[in-house]
Amino acid sequence: MDFELSEEQIMFRDQIRNFAETEIAPLVDEAEEKEVTPLQLFPMMGKLGYLGITYAEKYGGAEVDKITECILIEELNKVCAGIAGVVSTTHSGLGTRAINDYGTEEQKQRFLVPAIKGEKIAAFALTEADAGSDAIALRTRAVKDGDDYIINGSKMFISNGTFCDFVPVACYTTDPKEVKKRGQGISLIVVEKGMPGFSATKLKKSGNRSHETAQLYFEDVRVPKENLIGEEGKGLAQILTTLKSGRISYGARATGMAQAAYDLAFKYAHEREQFGKQIAKFQINTVKLVDMAMHIDIMRIMTYRAAWMYSEGMNCMKEACMLKIYATEKVQELMLLALDLHGGYGYMREYAIERLWRDAKMLNLTEGTTPINYMAAARELGI
């Protein structure tokens, strides 16, 4: 087994790291304070080829493997988890994955190509107020009316929902009472900005404040049948495929945030002196730093392994779920260690560790909660 990154991957890592530090970092404080997403990053990143990098070159992507995408996600999350979630996890992942994997050529030209260029922004609408972990209990309906679908319902906690140009919406195209098995009859239909009856309300969050999140409303939204992704009623499989890729990405998100927390804690512990010596030299703090470094290494290796399996076309649902569990739970512990090392200063908003600590909590709540991922892993293990 080769644990070394390729020369191309190292070059790419250095490039995206430099971009994140020079172009994104200066925007973070204002974006977090005003709770707005810096949308100017989309065309900028599109022009540089940093959006949808796993997609085919003929659509504008770089056609790289999942490991390379995880490198990008880790570097972005080291600088700002909120902005990283906007451009990589949601736009380049959830919002476009099903179109890339199941969409028609016309849909790819209309949605995927401009998304990769940063000309259109994507979201993904699955969760509802009463259908979170039990996603297939969703109530949003799409009823056929000639050559159109009429969509009614609402969605909750939708990233990019306030400004997206298009959003694949999970809805029942078959009356749930008529299906024989739960989850049958779900479809993904792309709703576009400006369609009458489609609206959004911005939500306020504790963390990831630069990542705008919304509740979406669909009131008799008329959508042409050409916006149906794949085969009608087969949306559940599309959703599961999308989530599998996303759970691996969350390993990279957690790794990036944990690495940023470690870097801050390491620097502070070597600058801060108490009782005549650096606090890093006190054994209890030395143990904390080593513990953080050790678990970050494990998180990164687990992420790369799952990403490699995904790129090889192997069944990696078990590994994706286990990675999501381990990485997003462990990052909670590591954030507390980093916060402890900062003492009272760590609780102050002037210090970046406070934002990282708040942002990290979202990771084990979204893309499948920890209990849901335990259940999914158990299924894969035959338990």
Residues of the chain with CATH 1.20.140.10: 237-381
pLDDT of residue 135: 78
Chain region(s) in the chain for CATH 2.40.110.10: 135-233
Better-predicted residue by pLDDT, 184 or 260 = 260
367 is known as an active-site residue: yes
Q: What pLDDT score was predicted for residue 307? A: 96
Compute the average pLDDT of residues 22-38: 97
Residue 138 pLDDT grade (very low, low, confident, very high; cuts 50, 70, 90): very high
**With bands split at pLDDT 50, 70 and 90, how would you rate the model's confidence at 175?**
confident
Cβ of 328: how many Cβ atoms within 10 Å?
28
pLDDT in tens, 365-378: 998 899 999 999 99
- The predicted model gives 337-366 an average pLDDT of 94
Q: What is the pLDDT of residues 48-58, one digit of tens each?
A: 999 999 999 99
Q: Under CATH, which number does the domain 237-381 receive?
A: 1.20.140.10
Average pLDDT over residues 43-51: 97
Those residues whose C-beta lies under 8 Å from the C-beta of residue 382, and which sit 6 or more positions away, are: none
Which CATH number describes the domain made up of 7-117? 1.10.540.10
pLDDT the model gives residue 174: 86
Q: Which helix (H) or strand (E) holds 27?
A: helix 25-34
Residue 294 clears pLDDT 80, i.e. is over it = yes
Handedness of CA 97, 55, 320, 331 (dihedral sign): negative
Mean pLDDT of 131-145: 89
237 burial type by CB count under 10 A (0-12 exposed, 13-18 middle, 19+ buried)? middle
More confidently predicted of 25 and 4: 25
pLDDT for res 153: 97
> DSSP of 92-158, one letter per residue?
IIIHHHHHHHH--HHHIIIIIHHHHHTSS-B--B--BTTBSSSGGG---EEEEETTEEEEEEEEEEE
Looking at residue 361, what DSSP letter applies?
Answer: G
Residue 179 has pLDDT above 80, yes or no: no
Instruction: Quote the pLDDT of residue 182.
Output: 75
For 197-206, the pLDDT digits (tens) are: 999 999 999 9
Q: What is the dihedral of CA 281, 284, 285, 288, to 10 degrees?
A: 140
Q: For the segment 5-21, what is each residue's pLDDT rounded down to a tens digit?
A: 999 999 999 999 999 99
Which of 212, 319, 354, 367 is flagged as catalytic? 367
The architecture that CATH gives domain 135-233 is Beta Barrel (2.40)
Query: Contact at 8 Å (CB) between 166 and 122?
Result: yes
Confidence of residue 146 (pLDDT cuts 50, 70, 90): very high
- pLDDT value, residue 1: 62
- C-alpha torsion sign, points 333, 353, 303, 250: positive
Number of continuous H segments (helices) and E segments (strands) in the chain: 13, 9
Summary mean pLDDT of the chain: 95
Domain with CATH 1.10.540.10 in the chain: 7-117
